[in-house]
Amino acid sequence: MGNRDRVKYLFSSSNTVYGYSTFIPELIANLSEVYVLTGIQGAIKSNFIKELGESLWRAGYEAEFWVSPLSSNLYEGVFFPQLAAAVIDGNSHKGDKWPGLEVRHTFVDLDQCLQEEKMKSFYSEAENIKEQVIKQDAEIERFLRLAGENYETAVNFEDEKTDRDVINNAVQSIIKCSLEGIIPEKHYYSPIVNIDGVADTAEEISSMCRRRFILKGASGGGRKEIFETLAAYAKSRNCFVEYYHDGLRPEKINMLVVPSLQAAILDYNSCKIIVKPMDIMIDLDGEKGMSDCDSMKNNKKQRTLETFLFSARNELKKKYVYVRALEKLYYYAFDFHRLEELQISLGQKIKKGIINI
């Protein structure tokens, strides 16, 4: 097995039109070991997660990195499937505790690596930066809410426009080709909006599948029902299902993956993918197409949506600058020898299945 098969980078959280949203509480709910990093805010926890994950990956373990919705260079957690263990950043983007953290989880306080005397010299500066981060979060949410007002009409058309026979035929076609063959399920986001623009994992994840079913046609088009029906059918056959939700509208599903069958079902309009000869294309338009009037309205809404997303991205970039500035302050006061010892110790305990640090 190559290195590519042993590592994944997935979005477990997203800045949506409703605000920050995460699937991490659900992802860690049934794990044997969960280590929660507490203490300082900023990118140091992300670096800790990255280095710890890579050290176990190099040791031969599979690693699933949960990438931050702020930047693809930051991480909110790492999951080790073979060990049923995860390490997560215990603070949300606003510095609050993740919801649903239980007593059985092991909390690892990184403040123990801070040198208090050095910290005192720039404490007020650090607090000012934290306040700026909170202000940027408010601006990000404001622009994404405005984007959300245009998203529904720019991306989704009414499902009633799609012929019922088209939906049924699409479902049966995929079942016949793929799903005749452990619960529970997992949920992620793709694509999301971060400082780099639109970040999409659909091509990378689905390219690992032997079969890809691509839903084409006007947006909407009964896709929600198709995804829900196929997911329910797969789970009724005891197949594990991965859901990939839209980063702006979490209720919208863009891709389903059934790993045990090496099958993926994707929305062509929402996923950035390269169509390959073996892909199975399913046209949901039937005999119907989009009228010129609908097309003009859609283009106008799409331009407005892109304007607000561009503004949101600029605010994310400003937040990223503050996060990095906070990281530089903490670097000055950090005992990195102690941090490295903590990281090595935690890695050893995870491999041994010891929940005591």
In this structure, are 12 and 101 located in the same domain? Answer: yes
In this structure, are 104 and 171 located in the same domain? Answer: no
Distance between CA atoms of residues 316 and 40, nearest Å? 20
What does the pLDDT read at residue 288? 55
What does the pLDDT read at residue 181? 42
What does the pLDDT read at residue 153? 58
**Is residue 167 a part of any domain in this protein?**
yes
Least confident interval from 152-161, 189-198, 264-273: 152-161
What does the pLDDT read at residue 250? 93
Distance between CA atoms of residues 260 and 239, nearest Å? 7
In this structure, are 269 and 212 located in the same domain? Answer: yes
pLDDT in tens, 143-181: 999 998 877 655 554 444 455 566 566 656 665 555 444
**Is residue 125 a part of any domain in this protein?**
no
Looking at per-residue confidence, does 333 or 190 come out higher?
A: 190
Distance between CA atoms of residues 195 and 59, nearest Å? 32
pLDDT in tens, 233-261: 998 888 999 999 999 999 999 999 999 99
Asked whether 178 and 256 are in contact (CB, 8 A), the reply is: no
In this structure, are 266 and 340 located in the same domain? Answer: no
pLDDT band at 220 (very low <50, low <70, confident <90, very high): low
pLDDT in tens, 293-308: 555 556 777 888 899 9
Token pair recorded at residue 27: 């992802």
Amino acid at 72: S
pLDDT band at 104 (very low <50, low <70, confident <90, very high): low
- DSSP for 78-109, please give it: EEEGGGTEEEEESB-TTSPBPTT--TTSEEEE
**Is residue 145 a part of any domain in this protein?**
no
In this structure, are 167 and 241 located in the same domain? Answer: yes
pLDDT in tens, 76-92: 999 999 999 999 998 76
In this structure, are 164 and 274 located in the same domain? Answer: yes
Domain count for the chain, please give it: 2
Tell me the pLDDT of the chain averaged across its residues: 84
Backbone region of residue 262 per phi and psi (left: phi > 0; alpha: psi in -120 to 50; beta: other values): left
- For residues 317-340, give the mean pLDDT: 89
Q: Which domain holds residue 265?
A: 158-289
Asked whether 166 and 216 are in contact (CB, 8 A), the reply is: no
